[in-house]
Amino acid sequence: MKNWLTKTVIVLSAVSLLNDIAGELLYPVLPLYMASIGYGAIWIGILEGLAEAIAGLTKGWFGEWSDRRGMRLPFVRFGYLLSAISKPLLALFASAPWAMLMRSSDRLGKGIRTGARDAMLADIGGPETRGKIFGFHRALDTSGAVIGPSLALAWLFFHKGESYKSLFLYALIPGLLCVLLLFLIKEKRSQAKVKGLPPSPLSSFSYWKNSNPAYRKLVAGIVAFTLFNSSDMFLLLMVKFIFLKGITFGTFQVNSDMLVVGCYIFYNLIYSAFSYPAGFFSDKFGPKRMLLIGYFCFALAYGGMAIASAGYFSNLFFVLGCFVIYGIYSACTEGISKAWVSVLCKKEEKGIALGFFAGMMSISTLIASVMAGLIWTFTSPLFVFLLASLMAVVTIFYLIFAVKSPKKIIYSDIIPEENE
């Protein structure tokens, strides 16, 4: 059996770890920073929704471009470099348009590098080692989602009341380190069958008309739910809303910002811990059952946060319980939904099928985040979470009666996505 733990696998995994530390160092702090410079839920919704839409719509395009060039590494290097620079520059000017430009540049960097990097990893081993390769990569990537927020929490503890700008500058260190690491690996140019630029990033949308009816049914249900599932930043804003004055443990005072970051770390730990068991049980009982469990958990978590925002059970243990349930939701849906989608198309259509799905999810997240910002501002945060919880229940009934479960999914054929 070919050795799968090569220098390229180790370097690309370490690069994802460092990039995730940089990104997750700032992600839970970003809504706090936006609020501190005078911008509320509407701007946060537009900012995060647009950024995710850019990432989703460009992954397939740049991935295909790397195919046509016969080179992956230039895309990987430039994508990570763009993200590394954009993160600290976000705090250079205290304006929402500037924050939107930098956050969008960061996500564009993700779109540029993701397809090319995943293709590099996939080319290293065969089907018998692909699961190990991407499992190793995912393990280091997920570790960054815990280390980054933990560093942010430590910074908030020792710098209470200070400006967030210095924290953004610290994110430059792991960001640039990951770019430098990429110069430790080399790549041979391969012979591309097709030359030139690929069609526009929107070209994958033509796939819908000719796709499998089962594919359309599943994607339609998931996308409809996503239209009401806003960015996780609103979940973090809700923690600040509930614990605006912080909490006290004896003589120890914990402010709301520290609680926000602590809850985000806790969520990532739960998500990471349940991801493998969710995949295991999906293999055994089918993806439909896991998605149903996931959406049920979402309804409970968002419903619980809505209750807490109304002043009922608004204590830390109840909110942490909601984050446990929300972490299980993420583990039961994110990777499994992509895996299910991938078996509802021909092998030669897998790229465009997943590309269309990612694009629709990104556009839906943009709409959901803007809508959540408007509802949050002009009515109440309570209705943002109640509406999403209700839509999760509707999705459960849709999946039960309208969508059939496939017999088997081969998870080693699915390339996991990085957090940041």
> 252: which strand partners?
249
Rounded to whole angstroms, the Cα distance separating 148 from 162 reads 19
Of 222, 248, 206, 200, give the one whose Cα is nearest residue 64: 200
- Positions of CATH 1.20.1250.20 in the chain: 1-186, 204-411
Task: Encode pLDDT of 298-316 as tens digits.
Answer: 999 999 999 998 888 878 8
Residue 335 scores a pLDDT above 90: no
What is the CATH number assigned to the segment(s) 1-186? 1.20.1250.20
Q: Where is mean pLDDT largest: 73-77, 111-115, 134-138, 296-300? A: 296-300
| Span 200-230, pLDDT tens digits | 777 767 778 888 888 899 999 999 999 999 8
* Helix, strand, coil shares, percent, the chain, to 5: 75, 0, 20
Mean pLDDT of the chain: 83
Work out the percent of the chain whose per-residue pLDDT is above 70: 88
* Mean per-residue pLDDT, 129-137: 68
Lowest mean pLDDT among 5-14, 102-111, 186-195, 328-337: 186-195
Q: Say which residue, 76 or 246, is predicted with more confidence.
A: 76
Cα separations in angstroms, 314 against 209, 311, 320, 324: 47, 6, 11, 16
Cα(181)–Cα(189) distance, integer angstroms: 20
In which band, very low, low, confident or very high, does the pLDDT at 1 lie, cut at 50, 70 and 90? very low
* Calpha distance 76→189 (Å, rounded): 14
Average of per-residue pLDDT across 141-166: 81
Yes or no: say if 26 and 167 are a contact pair by the CB < 8 Å rule: yes
Classify the phi-psi angles of 311: left when phi > 0, otherwise alpha if psi is within -120 to 50, otherwise beta.
left
pLDDT reading at 49 higher than 90: no
Angle, vertex CA 189, rays to CA 185 and CA 194, nearest 5: 140
Domain 204-411 CATH superfamily: MFS general substrate transporter like domains (1.20.1250.20)
* Side chain identity at residue 37, one-letter code: I
Residue indicated by tokens 């526009």: 200
Which contiguous run of DSSP H or E holds residue 249? strand 247-249
pLDDT value for 411 = 46
